[in-house]
Structure 1
Amino acid sequence: MLWDYAHIRLIDIRHMLFKAGDKLTSYRFPAAGFLYMVRGNVVFRLNGNKHAAERFHILHSGKGGQLDIDWVREEMEFYFIFYKASLSLTSGSGVRRLFERNSPFQKQYEFAPNAPVALLSQVKEMHRKWLDSSSLERIQIKAMLYQFVYEVERQRQAYGVYPVKPDLVEQAVRYIREYYSQPITLSSIAEQLNYSVAYVAKQFKSKTGTSLIDFLIRTRIDKAQELLLNTDASLQEVAAGVGYTDLSYFIRIFKKTTGVTPGNFKSLALGSAKGSDRPKIRLRLSNAGWAEPSYIVNDHDNHYQYRRKGDLPMVRNTNMSMGAAMLLCLVLMLSACSSGNSPVNSVNAGPSPVSSVQTETSPPDSAANSKSTRVYKDSQGHEVDIPERPQRIVLQGNSIGDLLALGIQPVGVDRRFIEESVYLDKETTPAQDIGFPTNLELVLDLEPDLTMLGYVMDKQYEEVSKISPTVVFDQSKPLSERLPVIGEIVGKKAEAEQLLSEYNRKAENMWSGLHQEGKLAEGETAVVLIYYWNKTMYLMKTGGIPALLYQPQGYKMSEAVKEIEPAEGAPYIEVSPELMHKMLIGDHLFVIYPANADAENSFNELMKTALWSSLPAVKSGKVTFVETKWNYDDMLTSSMLLDEFPKLLAK
């Protein structure tokens, strides 16, 4: 999907020749790109992983990937194709989150294509046209690049034909381990291996002692456990990544196999890890006060993250028709072994930091409230009959903390925004993970009486509105504007205004205290930098931490920073080390960072440079480091940050 939304710019096409005995040491990809080997015999390493390749070999790496060619056995001819992918300013936040978390442009892989001739012809023609300076030719090259990518991806996904025919059972095992994330049945494997179903089943059972399907399930569950422990993927992404498109079925089969739900498995494993001598991941900063991060599994960021190595398979948006969705749900209900919705995650209930609004479970008049309706006009002009007090809300977007602060426990959410939050324990009843892109079949199964869309993709509104009353709101608005809208939608406008009033009063008290204690001078300026594991940096002016800093009684934004805007066609304000002195203008510097080893290592390298040491805020010791989990502006996070912020300044 991201290939559709992204702006792709071809940077360079190079034709290269290496003689026998030549080497290439620590070559870094200047951009995402392909290496297509036409002829030769070579041993190479991609980010330390050793491979041997002959003619017609393809490898792909994201920007910064390290390539080492240890030994060219015979003359090697190859092409480099470099490109840059970016999102437009008009891209929705959901697309941006997908770009941050699961970018295909950073993936690293290598393989020998089964049908290399078509690829070779495309590459040669692209290179020929690239050497032509005509702008018209360059337009055609871009179209050819998409054709090349399609052919590479098609062959890569179809790759799996082994040059030597192995033992039947070994072949079946290898097939399962390689394609466990794809739809697999006993019949499909038998067809792939050119044997009868009965023969494959008998041979597999005889040699392994288990059925092929049981082995497939065990393989998928083992992979799911790895993803749950070692990645920040949501349950929907994990399920899809191991071959289960139905989240409810995945949860049932996981529990049947392991004895616990996926959420309980992750909670228990993390609890055990925290009690052991597992090292805490933290930044070691020597020249400025910093916030000690608590250990978190999720290492992706709020708004601007480029996904690290080890990408998960993209969740597929099937665009199933409503009729097909209804039929599927009917079949699932008839075949289900148990009733009710399985919890998506296990969390312990805790007191809300916003004390004035109590959690609302099932009030005595809930039935009457849910039946009474009113007409609401949403941000896109839809006039919708919605319940006065909806009881079963599904939310698409990142405003979960707003609903929880209002005492609303939604039945369905995109759990990525729960799992990486500072309020993990604020759900009394964990909501079902509707995934991203939103799984409409799951939404249908939840039977919502109201669906709230913080953003809309394609013709999604028409599809969702067939399931339940659906309203669209702008989740990108600041808290002071967004919370009253959400409060009005859920029938709690007065409570929303009360929360904002208490928040503003609490913020004024916090800022007054900081001024009185001498921790904040009148007119003191601040600038916010968000830093990433791959050494990319961005200047932040709105949302998250800046939304707190630039409150009336807080820090000021310097006039120089006010004038800085993103480059044309760029979604964010990128900062290079050479431009730090021209862009990071403020008395106090706030650095937002992800708590992971990659960010630590790369940031420590930056801190050793003269450019960093000579920054005014660094020289004066006014640098504060904040984990990305605080970089949200929902009501729960914002309220908790008021308590945390003075502690950050004191460190």
Structure 2
Amino acid sequence: MDVVTRKHKERSMTMNIEEYGALWEHITIRLLDIRIMTVNTSEDPNTWMLPSNAFLLITNGKGKIWLGQGIHSIKGTYILHASKGMRLDCLAKKRMELHVLSYSSPESEKPNAEESQTYTGAESLQVSFGFEPTYPLPLIEIMQLIYRQWNELQSAGRIQTKALFYQWLAEMLKQMQEQRKNRTKLDRVDQAVRYLKRHYAESLKMEQVAEMLDCSPRYLNQLFQLQLNISPSRVLSQIRMEQALKLLVSTKGTLQEIAERVGYENGYTLSRYFKKHYGVSPEFYRKRRESSIPDVAPKTFQPHAALESHYLGWSGRTVSIGDADQPQPEQETIDLKGVQVWKSSAAALPRARTRMLATSMGEITIPNKPNRVVVDWNLGEVLALGVTPLGAPHSLIESNQMLEPYIYDQVQDIGNHNFISIEKVLELEPDLIITWNPAAYASYARIAPTVVYGGSGNGSVAEEIREMGRILNRRTEAETWIKEYVRRVHTLQQTITGKVSAEKTFTVIDPNWGEHITLVGNTGTRGGKAAYGLLNLRPAGKVRQELLEPGLEYLDIARSAVGGYVEDYLLVLDNGPRHGLDQASGKPWQKSIETDHCQIINLDWNRYFLSDPLSAVLQAEEMADRIMAR
């Protein structure tokens, strides 16, 4: 079966796998990011614009993925390749798990991503395709190794990561070629035997193998008995015995050493199984071999030759990075630039211009006063201390217009806060990266010193700002800002208390997403902290019981039920045109609210998305003005 790039259900274009594979022999790539994403079931698809070329390995789930104009039906393991700038829509009918491996290649980039829908030849890697692998287990296994190795920031670990990527790529291309030759898809028994041959040296349990094949151990055993007339455990034992036989002949290793190399805990266990399988002890066999006496035949010989012919190409060996027939990694160009470059550049600076900073990920060396800072979330905390970041997600700046007066220089766009462009961050050459996401640390740390910022962890504004002051070496600015913050909040609360009765209740809602309405709590974004935290407004009874007391950030309710959560004031985050604010007409769900006793105040959604201390106090001041104007 040829691998195709789908444009519509009725049309397809065959992809030349040989030419595509040949391209990888002549290009240099940069591994940018490797992460695991989960897509939960929903009625509406999740949408991303891919910031870089990427391979996607879907390991679990069911649903559909739209990539450009192509539609891919997902039923289990599936591989996709997408080029930079393409739109990806994912609709999960069963929870999906995706490994996303992003990379860049200067030789293969084109300005218009939409031109990449069709493979055009050997001049570009800008091609989108998808297929269901025949043998998913080795692809999953290698990708999991890549993901784990990615977090190793030592140079050897980075080199091995890239080598593993080429190993994964070779396996993928091999399977694409095999499918093109119209080989039938192997069943669970074939996959299980392949897995056993690759992992015989490990402590394997059949429950583990069955789980990876999405079946029960009992069912797997039945399949083996039906097709091979032998249990999976016996197949594993046979593989181990053959490997032990080879090691006895080709090495001088002790029985204990050989046992450990073929998956047994000790030499006694190996000796017992060996004698049962071949009829003689390992010591006897080795002595006879040294005396040039012909080999003994297995006592309980199984028709393994049939297995070998059926699984031709694996030959019972474990593929390793050093195998001569595996693709060798090209010289590392960008990953070696990552951690080592910023370490060496920091080391080249005079000691007075750098400092050591203790972080949750270890101690790092950073400039004494960072001035090329990139943030992927904590925009307000940085701006509060007088630092305009070099780069930040456009989605944060556009979604909190209140911060515009605090931005003194142009901020470079690094993508959406849910899908950061590692390529763009790399281009900016930052001297410090501040992230909220521990999973992104390994990717960022290859570019510049990186801090995982979690604030104080206890919700204290003062501690959050002090922590950012420590990171940016702006402790004095932090203390000054905290004092001003306390003063402004105190003034707000005093003003509200004098104008609004303490008995009046408030509800904050976001009606802009889907068929439901989102009730906003006091611990997350969208104005909740400003209303219930800073202004100390009293929540409506059901809001307090179902949202604030359990500590929930949000609660989705049916539009018809909103009236039960509203009493005196309703604060509505309106994502419509700004001239439409404060107009309560035209919204069907508002008909369920008694407008004669409930006052509706519309707020601009684009000013209330963030909840950092600076954003929250600005939101609270605007909110107080709107309430008191009623």
The TM-score with structure 1 as length reference comes to 0.43
Please say which structure displays the higher CA radius of gyration: 2
The higher-RCO structure (CA 8 Å, 6+ apart) is 1
